[in-house]
Amino acid sequence: MKALRSIIVDDESSSRRLLAKLLGAHAEIAVVGEARSVQDAVLLCAQLEPAVIFLDVNMPKQSGLELVALLKKKPDIVFVTAHTDYMSEAFAVGACDYLLKPVSGERLEITVKRLVALSSRNS
């Protein structure tokens, strides 16, 4: 299977780095870009057409939830956040999963398996 092209969107660089490191243990996922804002993510998605976005909810100016509405082509969305109170909204906009920070390797493995299964069904 070809690795799923993914981007990480989070305003905190340390969170992006940590998630990228955790994802590096999964050959099924290729992190091809990072963005620190919704505006940057819209441009990055248009350029890279990722299959998956790992997305923080709570960011300055615009939320991750707002990003989903702005995308012309909808990749699989995995919200990665420290806030439990956005979970129902995340699934309402079509999230595949919702990870709480700090993300554990075991929980991320479940998410990766879910993404691979979704990709296989959609191929």
User: pLDDT by residue (tens digit) across 25-35?
Assistant: 999 999 999 99
Residue written as token pair 């079509």: 94
Residue 4 DSSP SS3: strand
Q: How confident is the model at residue 109 (pLDDT cuts 50, 70, 90)?
A: very high
Helix axis angle, 13-23 to 105-122, nearest 10°: 70
pLDDT at 121: 81
User: pLDDT by residue (tens digit) across 34-65?
Assistant: 999 999 999 999 999 999 999 999 999 999 99
Cis peptide before 102 (omega within 30 of 0): yes
Would you give the DSSP letter of residue 104? P
Number of Cβ atoms within 10 Å of the Cβ of 99 = 17
Report d(CA 47, CA 64) in Å as an integer. 18
CATH assignment, 4-122: 3.40.50.2300
Report d(CA 17, CA 50) in Å as an integer. 18
User: pLDDT by residue (tens digit) across 78-101?
Assistant: 999 999 999 999 999 999 999 999
pTM: 0.96
Q: How confident is the model at residue 68 (pLDDT cuts 50, 70, 90)?
A: very high
What are the phi and psi torsion angles at 46 (to 5°)? -65, -35
Percent of the chain topping pLDDT 70: 99
Structure tokens at 69: 């509405």
Asked if residue 68 lies in contact with residue 77, where contact means CB atoms within 8 angstroms, the answer is yes
pLDDT at 123: 65
Parse the chain into domains and list their residue ranges.
4-122
Q: What is the mean pLDDT of residues 2-20?
A: 97
Residue 53 DSSP SS3: strand
